[in-house]
Amino acid sequence: MVPIARRPHPLSLSKPELALLAITAVWGGTYLVVHLAMRYSGPMFFVGLRFAVAALVACLIFRRVLRGMSRADLGAGAAIGVMIFFGYGLQTVGLQTISSSTSAFLTALFVPLVPFLQWAVFRKRPHTMAFIGAALAFAGLVMLAGPDAFQVGLGPGEVATLVSTVAIAGEIVLISLFAPKVNLGRVTVVQLLVCSVLSFLAMPVTGESIPQFSWVWLVAGVGLGLASCLIQLTMNWAQKSVDPTRATIIYTGEPVWAGVIGRIAGDRLPALALVGAVLIVLSVLVSELKPMSRKPSGNPSSMVELPAVHKSPGE
């Protein structure tokens, strides 16, 4: 008799899933690290340092394939690198004036934005759940902003973070567009280098100078640079075996981890803002729900598919 394979218990976690859970917690913690580093460094210098370290590590990892660099690799890496620059640059600018918890929940809005950018680029209309997710995200944003949002407007930190989500969503669309056509190792190196160089070049534009030496920005920048490469490698390894549905649910815990870590560090969001944060997390999950058509046989199988969420490099 052939033994019947048992399905794993839905609440059990495999080693790859535990690894994804760990890096999601690390992602949540990076917001607080950047927020603290902004007391000792300007945003553009810090982003440049962080991605310079990440690029150096990537060069060491992918050194054997760099000799075959093509124009397609350079072009794709440069385009993605520009999006990373605006995404992380504006997000870091926002962390100068807003809490790490608020930044994390606002950044989560990039997920509902992705279907709409795909609609613009690929001319494919988003499914209904994407619109529902966007509505929930807007409601959550209003609650997070507070009752006076429409009277005095969002602060510069919140605005910079919101604009950064458009760049992060654009990065995801570009990765989907270029990934099948280029060498991912070479593109990874190029995009990290481009982000680092653009950040350093932007320092005079933003009125920054090289900050006075501090172990805080040095350790934070090097640590986050190393973490960026480690996180990407972990994702590539773990998602070979982790079901996309389970991976997506794990990834959407990023702003929750940021909120928990921020609260431990002293962040205190008001009750209405916490409700808004929950709605934003819910919008992330809802926007990824995709209705499936019934099979001709009438099999009452699951009618919802939850695809994987793509994370931004180095996040």
Residue-wise pLDDT for 188-201, tens only, equals 889 899 999 999 99
Torsion angles phi and psi, residue 305, rounded to 5? -115, 135
Q: pLDDT digits over 116-170, tens only? A: 777 777 777 767 776 776 677 777 766 765 655 444 457 888 899 989 988 988 8
| Most confidently modeled range among 92-101, 143-152, 172-181, 205-214 | 205-214
* pLDDT value of position 245: 42
Note the pLDDT of residue 306. Answer: 41
Q: What is the mean pLDDT of residues 285-301?
A: 56
pLDDT reading at 59 higher than 90: yes
Q: Which residue has tokens 């809005």?
A: 109
Where residue 249 falls among pLDDT bands split at 50, 70, 90? low
How many angstroms separate the CA atoms of 77 and 70, rounded? 11
Q: How far is CA 82 from CA 168, 190, 228, in A?
A: 10, 11, 17
Q: What is the percent of the chain where pLDDT is above 70? A: 68
SS3 content of the chain, % helix, strand, coil (to 5): 70, 0, 30
Name the band, by pLDDT with cuts 50, 70 and 90, for residue 238: low
Contact (CB, 8 A) for 86 and 195 = no
Mean pLDDT of 259-271: 70
| Predicted pLDDT of residue 153 | 55
CB 261 within 8 A of CB 100: yes
Q: How confident is the model at residue 65 (pLDDT cuts 50, 70, 90)?
A: confident
Whether residue 257 has pLDDT greater than 90: no
Between 9-18, 47-56, 215-224, 225-234, the lowest mean confidence (pLDDT) is in: 9-18
What is the dihedral angle through the alpha carbons of 47, 48, 53, 57, rounded to the nearest 10 degrees? Answer: 100
Can you tell me the mean pLDDT for 235-258?
60
| Rounded Cα distance, 101 and 315, in Å | 15
Of residues 303 and 14, which shows the higher confidence score?
14
Report residue 291: phi and psi, to 5°: -60, 140
pLDDT band at 242 (very low <50, low <70, confident <90, very high): low
The per-residue pLDDT for 31 is 80
Query: What is the structure's pLDDT at 40?
Result: 93
Residue 7 confidence (pLDDT) above 70: no
Q: How far apart are CA 254 and CA 32, in angstroms?
A: 12
Q: Please state, as a whole number, how many other Cβ atoms lie within 10 Å of the Cβ of residue 243.
A: 14
Does the pLDDT value for residue 53 go beyond 90?
yes
pLDDT digits (tens, 9 = 90+) for 14-45: 788 788 778 778 877 888 888 889 999 999 99
